Chains A and B, each alone.
Chain A
């Protein structure tokens, strides 16, 4: 069995305001190295909140998150930043590339943040990745000079730039038309197989979820795994 890269135990998250809003109730989860997991659920069910906690961007109200066996609640601010830099890559619904940087520079940014400069070998590796996703001709273009699909492909390569073990994708095709969405998903799947990085993808697209290795459903703040047949039946039932 491949090693566990993310594990949660009894994870709970509530938002405290005038009224306390519980979002996640005791989530127990294991993500294995190299697998592709889809998280589905209704809007507001806590999918994005879970993803932010898994990526050490947010903290749970209670429970434990282990990334590569390390309890992230024991890490200070700098160590959490290092963890995000070295172990986790993020892909958002909107590409969130920096307008001031070219496609290549955006992809190199995680490396520059981590080590201050980029060696020739790393630069070549990143360029090869961009060529692999069909952006070899867009290296010097800024985000506003590229299509939505191209920007999202660039964002995928950026998430992989630091060679993380986990990529967390929050509705990465949500902002794209159907065809571009399919292309981007196919690309993520390819990267998952070629590079061996684990993908955790939040999606509303049932067809994409069907193409994942596992499907996890968040319902009313609780998580359960759906087998593909159950998911297919459930999806057809909702149509």
Chain B
């Protein structure tokens, strides 16, 4: 479409201004390129920084939450409380009587019912009944402390992925005499699949297991996995369990779902957010930093744009005087220079977003070197390309550029033709 063609699409009242803005941009050559580059550079920095920070956050959150339950349901434990904190007790009261603790439930007897209730709560993805406790693992030598989880392998795999981290053997189809242990425990005990090890539970019960599989998550010592029935027997729970693990669809909804669980069942439900409050505050700090860096980048590029446009207005001051002598109104001149700023902003934003996304995409293809057994290939830069974030960046860059263009535009509009036509 030629210029006269597209001009017809512009409202009649803006045609002169639009045409002048386009002519200025075209005739500007290197100056236009410089201004567009300033906008694009700002957008590239913001796209890059946000993609990197949100990508890292996403990866950290994924690493943290993929191997743990998002919500853990346990029997509520009574915690000791200072006398003065008890409602109704007067300040300064002293008790010298040590009472025996009332008998407490330690286990979840009616777990099948609880599982059915929790499974129906919106946002819940997986509900895994389990026995979780401590034990000592040994193979002739010194016993090594280990966390034991007894659960149905098919369900447990959806809570803490074991099968996908297996180096050897199997987890699914685990029998009551088999155990899956992590690579570090296997190394410390000097055992491999098919060997037998002994578990001594916290209740003193001892059982021998054949190692069915060895896994590695690369995050320090992991748990040892046995079947639910075996764990109930090892810890003397009968048919009861002591924990229910829940995975939710949206990890950031875990608090809300945990609250709903607490309202429906008489047990304690703690989300991963409650378990790791520092993690979330760290994420917030990073997010704030990302926005701060983005804001400063856009402000810096706005100053650069304003400077270039001010010079442009000075260069065109004579032309502005001529246009005014031909009847151009102040607001026509103002709009022409604002449209020039808008044109720079739109081209710069699109170019910056495209180039920034390309850089981020290319970075995402770089993989880390494999440094440990069983390590899956991982990106060196775990970036997140978020279209909404890129869109927001483009809008912010456009707005800041137009605002930057306002000062030179007003200056142009106020020029007195007599002062500039000589």
Contact = CB atoms under 8 A, between A and B. Distances in A.
A220 B211 CA distance: 115
A86 B327 contact: yes
A110 B12 CA distance: 14
Contacts of B325: 55, 57, 84, 90
B16 A98 contact: no
- Which of A77, A99, A117, A162 is most buried by chain B, counting CB atoms within 10 A of its CB? A117
Contacts of B7: 117
A162 to B, nearest CB: 7
B15 A52 contact: no
B332 A113 contact: yes
A85 B326 contact: yes
B198 interface: no
Contact of A96 (B14, B23, B322): B322
A70 interface: no
Interface in B321-336: 322-330, 332
Given A84-B324, A116-B12, A116-B13, A77 B330 contact: yes
A100 B328 contact: no
Nearest to B4: A117
Given A96-B318, A100-B23, A81 B15 contact: no
Given A78-B329, A84-B324, A117 B12 contact: yes
A229 B326 CA distance: 36
Q: Which of B13, B14, B23, B329 has the most CB of A within 10 A?
A: B329
A92 interface: yes
B19 interface: yes
Nearest to B326: A110
Interface residues of B, number: 27
Contacts of A58: 418
A40 to B, nearest CB: 20
Contact of B319 (A78, A82, A98, A114): A98
Interface string A96-123: 1011110000000110111111000000
B327 A114 contact: yes
A57 B418 contact: yes
Contact of B15 (A90, A100, A112, A158): A112
Contacts of B12: 115-117
Interface in B38-72: none
Main secondary structure of the interface of B (DSSP, over half): helix
B330 A84 contact: no
A170 B23 CA distance: 28
A84 B326 contact: yes
B161 interface: no
Contacts of A96: 318-319, 322, 421
A77 to B, nearest CB: 6
Interface string A57-99: 1100000000000000000011001111110001010001011
Contacts of A55: 325
A116 B16 contact: yes
B328 A81 contact: yes
B6 to A, nearest CB: 13
A99 to B, nearest CB: 7
A187 B13 CA distance: 34
Nearest to A101: B23
Contacts of A110: 326-327
B415 to A, nearest CB: 12
A100 B32 CA distance: 14
A54 to B, nearest CB: 12
A117 B24 CA distance: 19
Contacts of B14: 116
B26 interface: yes
A52 B418 contact: yes
Given A78-B329, A116-B13, A92 B421 contact: yes
A101 B319 CA distance: 12
A84 B330 CA distance: 13
B11 to A, nearest CB: 8
Contacts of B319: 96, 98
A110 to B, nearest CB: 5
A162 B26 CA distance: 27
A101 B327 CA distance: 17
B102 interface: no
Contact of A84 (B11, B24, B318, B327): B327
Contacts of A82: 327
Contacts of B332: 113
A131 to B, nearest CB: 21
Nearest to A92: B421
A90 B11 CA distance: 28
Nearest to B24: A100
Contact of A100 (B26, B330, B417): B26
Interface of A: 52, 55, 57-58, 77-78, 81-86, 90, 92, 96, 98-101, 109-110, 112-117, 158, 162
17 contacts: A57-B418, A81-B327, A81-B328, A81-B329, A84-B326, A92-B322, A96-B318, A96-B322, A98-B23, A100-B23, A100-B24, A100-B26, A109-B16, A109-B326, A112-B15, A116-B14, A158-B326
The 8 A-B pairs at the shortest CB distance, nearest first, are namely A85-B327, A116-B12, A100-B23, A100-B27, A81-B329, A116-B15, A110-B326, A84-B327
Interface of B: 7, 11-16, 19, 23-24, 26-27, 318-319, 322-330, 332, 417-418, 421
